[in-house]
Structure 1
Amino acid sequence: MTNPFITRTPRADPFFGNDGYSFEESEHIVKDDDADTALCGIDQTGVPWNQGFPVCQACVAVAQGRMS
């Protein structure tokens, strides 16, 4: 007999996004002098900080000097 009060959460698709998050759900890195534009070029106007998503890999590459 199954419990009607237990909801099963679907498993994350390993081929979808980054650790189960979609590619759009990521934390972007911004500069101190321009907090509205991420290092990868995404507009961050009005986006709250520290949402708990994985860090954008393009922003990390720019921050590490691997991209300009």
Structure 2
Amino acid sequence: MSYQLLDAMSAEVAYRAEQLRKAGRNARMTKQSRPVRWLRAHRLTNVEVPVQERRSAEPVASRAGHLAR
């Protein structure tokens, strides 16, 4: 294994470890606002979702029909 590859691998490991640390800090910070997010999502939204309806596929008219005439 060359030293360049070893350096690249160690740099990648350090980068990913730092990203995991940042994600862990952000997860801890958002725990405090979980009740607020729940209230916003469930109590304060007045969004009406329409009922889904099943549609069948319609046959596509041939675009080459006008060329054959």
- Structure with greater helix percent: 2
TM-score tier, shorter chain, comes to under 0.3
> Per chain length, whose mean CA-contact separation is higher, i.e. which structure has more relative contact order (CA < 8 Å, sep 6+)?
1
- Which of 1 and 2 has greater Rg? 2
TM-score by length of 2: 0.24
TM-score by length of 1: 0.24
